[in-house]
Structure 1
Amino acid sequence: MLATIDRMSLTQPAALEQMPFSQLTTDQPNNAPSTFTLQVPLIAHESEIGELNIVGAAGHSFNDEQRAVLREVAAQLAVALQQARLFEQVRTGNERLHTLSAHLLEVQEQERRHIARELHDEIGQALTAAQLNLQDLTEVTKLEALPARVEDTLVLIETVLGQVRSLSLDLRPSMLDDLGLGAALRWYVKRQAERAKLMAEINADAIEPRPPTTIETACYRIAQEAVTNIVRYARATEVCVDLYVRSGVLHLVVRDNGVGFDVDAAQARASQGGSVGILGMQERAQLAGGWWSVASTPGQGTTIRAFFPLHPAERSDANDVDSHHFGG
C-alpha cells in the first residue's frame, strides 16, 4: 500500500467532520492488476491544501474504524503542512528583515560619507578661502583693493550657502513638509532630469486633504529611489512621473524608456540579498500600508507603481494584498 501527498488548488471550504471519501477504480496499462485509490482531502482553516491518496490492490476496502483513523491522520498532516508553511513564511520574513537591516546600515554609511565629502571638499574649502580673504583684508594698505577682495569673499560665502542648501534638500526637502508631495516631486524630478539631461514629464495632482506624513514620505522616497535608478542604470532619455488619487487610493507611477531589466532575475537577486533598492521600495510601500509593483522588459523600459489607500479601512484591506510582487 502506498500513501502520497499531492498539492492541490484551494477548493470550497469543507468542515473536517464532513470530509468526503471517494473510492476510484482504474485499470493500469500493460495488463497490470486493477487498483483502487482512496482520496482523503487535507483541510486547514476550512480550505483544502492537499490530498492524501491511499492506493491499494483491487478488492481491498476500509471499514469505518480504519476510515476514522485515516481521517485523523489527514487532519494531523494538514496541521503539519500548515505549520511548515507558516515556519517558512517566518523564516523568509526574518531573512528579509536581516537584508533590510544590512541595507539600512549601508545606506546610512553612504549618506555619512557623502555628507563628510561635501563638508570637507566643498564647504570646507570654500570657508577656508573666505577665511584667507578676510585675513588678507587686515593687511591691505590700498583702499582701492578692498572692494575686489570683499566681492570675492561674498561670492565664496554665497557658494557655501548654496552648497549647504543643496545638501539639506538632498537629505529632506523642506517643501515636502511645507508644500506637499506634489510640489516636492515636481521639484525633485525636474532637478534630477536637468542634472542627467533627461526629458521629464511630471503630472502631479494637488492632493487635498494631504495624505498622512508616513504616506507622503514613503511615496517621495520610492519616487526618489526609482528616479535615482533611472539616472544610474537605465540609460534612458525620458522619464515620466504621475501622481494622482483614484477611488481613495494614491497612485504613484514612474516610467522610463531605458534598457529595462529581467524582473524575475531581479526578484531572485532581491531574495538573496541583492537588488536592495527594489526590496527597499517594496518595504517602504508595505510599511505605509500600501503595495508596489514593477513591470520591465529588457530593451523596453521600466514602470514602477506604488499604491497607498488613504483611509484606514482601505489600508487594512491592503495588508491582505501581496505587496511583495513583481509584475504589471
Structure 2
Amino acid sequence: MPDTPVPMPPAECERQLLALADALPVGVVVVQDGRVYAVNSVAARQFAAQPRALSGCLAQALFADPDAAAALLDEPPVQERQLSLRRADGELFRAELSARALEVGGRALRLLFVCDLSESDRIRDQLERQHDELQAMTRRVLSVQEDERRTLSHELHDDIGQQITAIKLGAMALQDDTDPVRRAEILAEIIEITDQTVAKVRNLSLLLRPPQLDALGLEAALRWQAGTMFRNGRPKLELDIEPLPARPPPAVELACFRIAQESLTNVLRHAQARHVTLRLARQDDSLTLEVSDDGRGFSGDDANGLGLVTMRERAQQVGGRLDVDSDPAHGTRVRAELPLQHPEPDR
C-alpha cells in the first residue's frame, strides 16, 4: 500500500509561494482580507515602495478606481484587464492585471498579477517622437537640398554664366579691334571679370565644404568659420579652441564643424545676443564642443526645432550626444560630446 503524502506545513507552503512569486517576471501582490499580505520584488519596484511599506495597507488603495479594485479583489478569477494603479508617491501608471483565488493553510488569499505598461507607453511615445523628428529632418534635408540647388543654379546661370559670356564677348572684340589702346582696355576688363568669376566660384566651393577642414583640420576650420560669420564684431565673439593632439576621424570632424556652423547661424538669426563663445576641448576619449550666448533663448516648446533635430542627428550618427540648455532670460548653450573613435557601422 503506497504511503500517504504528508501535508506540507502552512508556513512551508507560504514560504514556497512567496519564493515562486519572487521568481516571476511580473509583479505579484498577495491579498488577504482586503489588505496586502506580501508583494514580490517586481511589484515593490512597480509601486516604488519597500515591501514592508506595502504590507498591511488596504489593497484598494493601490487602485485609482475603487470600483475596478472591488471587481479584481472580490470576483471569481479575473482575466487580464488594463487599469490605472497608484504608486507610493501618488503617481498613476497604467497596468495590465489578472487575479486568482488561492487557499494556503486554510487561509483564503487573492493573487494579483501586475504588468506595468507605463514603460511600454514611454517607449511608444519615444518612438512616435523620433518618427516625427525623422519626418521633420527628412523635410528639412529635402528643403535644404532644393535651396542649395536653387542658389547654385542662380549663381551659375545668372551670375557666373553672364560673366563668362562677357569674357567671351571681350575676347571676340579683341580679334576685331586693331587699336592698341582699345585692346588694352578690353584686356583689362577681361582680367577684372575673370578675377570676379574666380572669386565667386571659390565662394561657392566654400559654402559646400571649407577646404580648411580637409587641409588644416578642425581647429583652423572653426576659427575661419566663426571669424567669417562674426567679422563685423556684432555680437562679440570669443574663441576658446584647444589644440588637439591628433586629428579626429573625418566623420567626427565634419559632424563637429556642422554642429558649430548651425549653432553659430542660430545665434546670428535668432538670439539677439551681445556675446557668443565657442569652445573646443578634448576630455578623455571624447571631443567637447560648446557654443553659448547671452541672447534671448527659447522655451521648451521650441527645443525640437528642425535645426536642433539636425544637430542631434549629426551627433548620434558618430556615436555622440548633444544637449541644449536655453532660458529666455539667460541665453542658450549647445554642448556636443563626440567620441574621438568613430564607431564602425554595422555590416
Query: Do the two structures share a fold, i.e. TM-score over 0.5?
Result: yes
Q: What's 1:266 paired with?
A: 302
Contact 1:38/1:54, CA 8 A, preserved across alignment: no
State the alpha-carbon separation in 2 of the partners of residues 16 and 39 from structure 1: 14
What is the deviation of 1:265? 1.6
Write the mapping of 1:16-27 to structure 2, written as runs, cut at 5 A: 16=24, 21=29
Match of 1:230 in 2: 267
RMSD (Å) for aligned C-alpha atoms: 3.3
Q: Could you say which residue in structure 2 is the equivalent of 1:48?
A: 45
Among 300, 304, 307, the residue aligned to 1:277: 307
Alpha carbons of 1:67 and 1:301: their partners in 2 closer, same or farther (altered >3 Å)? same
Q: Deviations over 1:271-311 (max 9, x none)?
A: xxxx1001111111111111111122224322211111224
**1:228 counterpart letter in structure 2:** T
Provide the secondary structure at the position in 1 that maps to 2:226: helix
| Contact kept in structure 1, 2:31 and 2:109, CA below 8 Å | no
Q: Is the 8 A contact 2:163 2:193 kept in 1?
A: yes
TM-score, structure 1 normalization = 0.73
Q: Confirm or deny: 8 A CA contact 1:240 1:256 kept in the other structure.
A: yes
Distance, in Å, in 1 between the alignment partners of 2:118 and 2:330 is: 41
The amino acid that maps onto 2:310 is: G
Q: Is the Cα–Cα contact under 8 Å of residues 26 and 42 in structure 2 kept in the other structure?
A: no
Give how far 1:20 is off: 7.0
Partner residue of 1:149 out of 186, 206, 209: 186
- Please say which structure displays the higher CA radius of gyration: 2
Q: CA deviation at 1:177?
A: 1.4
AA in 1 matched with 2:307:
G
Note if 1:203 corresponds to 2:211: no
Q: TM-score, normalised by structure 2?
A: 0.69
Distance 1:144 1:251, change over 3 A: same
Counterpart Cα distance in 1 of 2:203 and 2:35: 76
Query: Partners in 2 of 1:129 and 1:208 — Cα distance?
Result: 49
The CA distance in 1 between the partners of 2:32 and 2:301, in whole Å, is 43
User: d(CA) in 2 for partners of 1:143 and 1:184?
Assistant: 47
Deviations 1:72-117 (A, max 9, x none): x32xx23x55444444433333332222222211111111112112
After superposing on structure 2, the runs of 4+ consecutive aligned residues of structure 1 that deviate more than 6 Å are: 17-20, 22-25
Cα distance, 1:207 vs structure 2: 1.5
Distance in 1 between residues matched to 2:327 and 2:127, nearest whole Å: 31
Deviations, residues 164-207 of structure 1 (Å, cap 9, x unaligned): 11110111112211211111100111011126744322222221
Following the alignment from structure 1 to structure 2, what is the Cα–Cα distance between the partners of residues 103 and 41?
49
Percent identity over the alignment is 33
Tell me how far apart the structure 1 counterparts of residues 41 and 139 of structure 2 sit (CA, whole Å): 40
Gapped regions of structure 2 (runs ≥ 5) = 1-21, 49-53, 61-68, 75-100
Q: Does 1:300 align with 2:336?
A: no
Opposite residue 301 of structure 2, the aligned amino acid is A
- Deviation (angstroms), 1:127: 1.7
Instruction: State the alpha-carbon separation in 2 of the partners of residues 177 and 238 from structure 1.
Output: 29
Q: 1:39 to 1:81 in 2, by over 3 A?
A: farther
Which amino acid in structure 2 is aligned with residue 301 of structure 1?
Answer: G
> Structure 2 CA distance, aligned partners of 1:140 and 1:241?
57
Change (3 A) 1:208 1:42: same
Q: Deviations over 1:32-51 (max 9, x none)?
A: xxx6456756839xx93457
Runs (5+) with no aligned partner, structure 1:
1-13, 26-34, 317-328
Corresponding residue pairs, total: 276
What's the counterpart of residue 187 of structure 1?
A: 224
Residue 246 (structure 2) pairs with residue 216 (structure 1): no
DSSP-derived class of the 1:241 partner:
strand
Change (3 A) 1:259 1:128: farther
CA 1:21–1:214 in 2, change beyond 3 Å: closer, same or farther?
Answer: same
Assess, with a 3 A threshold, how the Cα gap between structure 1 residues 254 and 133 changes in structure 2: closer, same or farther.
Answer: same
C-alpha separation in 1, matches of 2:234 and 2:191? 31
CA contact (8 A) 2:102 2:111 kept: no
1:168 to 205, 224, 228: 205
Post-superposition shift, 1:255?
1.8
Displacement after TM superposition at 1:211 (Å): 0.9
Counterpart-to-counterpart distance in 1, 2:103 and 2:149:
72
Structure 1 Cα separation of the partners of residues 162 and 275 of structure 2: 36
Q: Which amino acid aligns with 1:279?
A: V
C-alpha separation between the residues in 1 aligned to 2:239 and 2:301?
Answer: 30
Query: Quick one: which amino acid aligns to residue 42 of structure 2?
Result: I
Give, as a single letter, the amino acid of the residue that structure 2 aligns with 1:258: G
Find the aligned partners of 1:177 and 1:88 in 2 and give their Cα distance. 41
